[in-house]
Amino acid sequence: MKVLVAVKRVVDPNVRIRVRADGTAVDTTDLKTSINPFDEVAVEQAVRLKEARLASEIVLVSIGPSAAKDTLRAGLAMGADRGILVEAPQDLEPLAIAKLLEEVVKQESPALVLLGKQSIDADAAQCGPMLAAMLGWGQATFAVGLQCEGNALQVTTTTEDGSELIALELPAVVTADLRLADPRFVTLPLVMSARRKPIATFAADTLVPPQALTARLQLVSVAAADQKRQVAIMADAAQLVDCLRTQAKVLEPAP
């Protein structure tokens, strides 16, 4: 089967980010970027499926600026076969990304789509479910285990109560949690060989109408987290509720 893996270019999680002086956005000037950690896990899972002879081809797709080719190269070095870059603004909303991925899926016809459960910049966790709904495919989110047998998947997912085992028929969409797989260490020879693997490039407006990429949300302001917040340990829920009412004043007074 063919596996399509969506990967996103993000600021490296080990880099300390800064907010612009005008408070309009995060300042990414000269910051190191990397593949989104959750997407890196998805790539690793796809490579393992191929090593187990359950996948015949791994295709990576990234949506973003031309610099996202480096993100694709990182995934190709892990063992993917080829890449697709959809050139688009970096700040597309999840719905627009899902629409673009839908068109790529229609062109590539994969049996399985893997992607991280969320990106570490937006933390929306929306693209996977939106894509599955648009395609009319089964889905499993927050996957921590995956087994493939024939035309069926068994996916272990995390829930508020623990874990859940979901049976899916292919084609399907699965979003990866960090516990799904530990990404392998990529050696220099693999990095060099990835440079010879093909990457096709498309403009976003050739896949969907420009109005489909229009932002629906307005960013009002961005502020750094308060580093001097006080922390208090509550004895029980009643004390927490009282604190929220009397100190934080975010709850209505008791009747």
In SS3 terms, 33-81 reads as EEECHHHHHHHHHHHHHHHCCCCCEEEEEEEECHHHHHHHHHHHHHCCC
Cβ-Cβ contacts under 8 Å for 55 (sequence gap 6 or more): 1, 2, 3, 46, 49, 112
Q: In the chain, what are the domain boundaries?
A: 2-213
17-31, 175-189, 197-211: lowest mean pLDDT where? 17-31
**Hey, how many other C-beta atoms are within 10 angstroms of the C-beta on 156?**
18
The Cα–Cα gap between 48 and 33 comes to: 25
What are 37-86's pLDDT values in tens digits?
A: 999 999 999 999 999 999 999 999 999 999 999 999 999 999 999 999 99
In SS3 terms, 128-159 reads as HHHHHHHHCCEEEEEEEEEEEECCEEEEEEEE
Alpha-carbon distances of 190 from 113, 169, 204, rounded to whole Å? 24, 33, 30
CB 85 within 8 A of CB 75: no
Interior/surface letters 164-195, b for 16+ CB within 10 angstroms, e for the rest: eebebeebbbbbbbeebbebeeeeeeeeeebe
Classify 187 as helix, strand or coil: coil
Which of 73, 13, 7 lies closest to 42, judged by CA?
7
- Would the pLDDT of 255 be above 80? no
- Would the pLDDT of 202 be above 90? yes
What percent of the chain shows pLDDT beyond 90? 67
The Cα–Cα gap between 113 and 108 comes to: 11
Between the two ends of the chain, the Cα-to-Cα distance in Å is 62
The model carries a pTM of: 0.84
Alpha-carbon distances of 43 from 102, 109, 172, 185, 245, rounded to whole Å? 19, 18, 16, 13, 47
What are 127-155's pLDDT values in tens digits?
A: 999 999 999 999 999 999 999 988 899 99
CATH 1.10.4030.10 is right for the domain spanning 2-213: no
The pLDDT assigned to 81 comes to 95
CB 36 within 8 A of CB 70: no
